[in-house]
Amino acid sequence: MENIEISSEYIELGQFLKVVDLVSSGGEAKSFLRENEVIINEEADDRRGRKLYKGDIVEVLGKKYRIC
C-alpha cells in the first residue's frame, strides 16, 4: 500500500487521481471514473468531487493507497 500525504484537511478524488499520475486534468478524471472502478473504504465511488480524508483507503487499477 502506498501512502499519499496531504497537507490540507482533505483532497478531492479528481485531485487524488492527478497526484498519483492516473490523469492529467479534471476532464480526464471524469472519463477515467466512468471507465474504471474506484473503491474508497471498500465502497465503489465515481464522484470526482468526493472528499478523501486522512485514513481513507483508495483502491484503483489493482493498487491501494492510504491518505495520510
Neighbouring CB atoms inside 10 A of 55's CB total 9
Q: Which residues contact 27 (CB under 8 A, 6 or more apart)?
A: none
Q: pTM of the prediction?
A: 0.89
Taking the domains of the chain in order of start, what are their residue ranges? 2-67
Q: Which residues contact 3 (CB under 8 A, 6 or more apart)?
A: 65, 66, 68
Q: Into which CATH architecture does domain 2-67 fall?
A: Roll (3.10)
pLDDT of residue 27: 84
**Rounded CA gap, 46 and 13, in Å?**
9
With a cut of 90, say whether residue 49 has pLDDT above it: yes
pLDDT in tens, 3-41: 999 999 999 999 999 999 999 988 899 999 999 999 999
Q: How many CA atoms lie within 13 A of 16 on its CB side?
A: 33
